Amino acid sequence: MIKKIEHIGIAVKDINSSISLFEKLLGNKPYKTEKVDTEGVNTTFFRLSDQKIELLSSITKDSAIEKFLESKKEGIHHIAFLVDSLEFEINRLESLGFQFVSKTPKEGADNKRIIFLHPKSTNGVLVELCEEI
């Protein structure tokens, strides 16, 4: 079951200047910065009540974020939903015709296991499903 919006991911070119910008905008400092080698990104999380903003910058030339920045520039990259069980949601959504970017969940940032739904099955929106580890 989808429980809530977990975070909104924003692709940025320069993580340090973007952290400074979002500190000013949101009036607080990030609570976590983390390198996610499996995705080729650096992430920074800001908390807003019970929701989060994630800034993502590329650390490899072949990462999905690098490709996104080359084609679409900086901006909203994905919306993430917190779920009780990734396996349950994968089976449920596949049975309803949704497509996934990959078939296997991965370890993501902020103590989560993650999987992405392909934008062509979600009206052009990259959707991430997250499960607490």
* pLDDT of amino acid 11: 97
Dist CA 130 CA 128 (whole Å): 6
Q: Which CATH superfamily, name and number, covers 2-132?
A: 2,3-Dihydroxybiphenyl 1,2-Dioxygenase, domain 1 (3.10.180.10)
Mean pLDDT of the chain: 95
pLDDT digits (tens, 9 = 90+) for 27-59: 999 999 999 998 999 999 999 998 999 999 999
* pLDDT of amino acid 74: 96
Query: What residues contact residue 34 under an 8 Å CB cut-off, 6+ apart?
Result: 42, 43, 44, 45, 109, 110
**Could you give the strand order of the β-sheet that contains 112-117, starting from the edge strand earlier in sequence?**
32-36, 41-48, 51-58, 2-11, 75-83, 127-132, 112-117, 106-107
Hey, where are the domains in the chain?
Answer: 2-132
* pLDDT of amino acid 1: 87
pTM metric for this prediction: 0.92
Percent of residues, the chain, with pLDDT higher than 70: 100
Give the chain's end-to-end CA distance (angstroms, integer). 16
Q: Is the pLDDT of residue 5 over 90?
A: yes
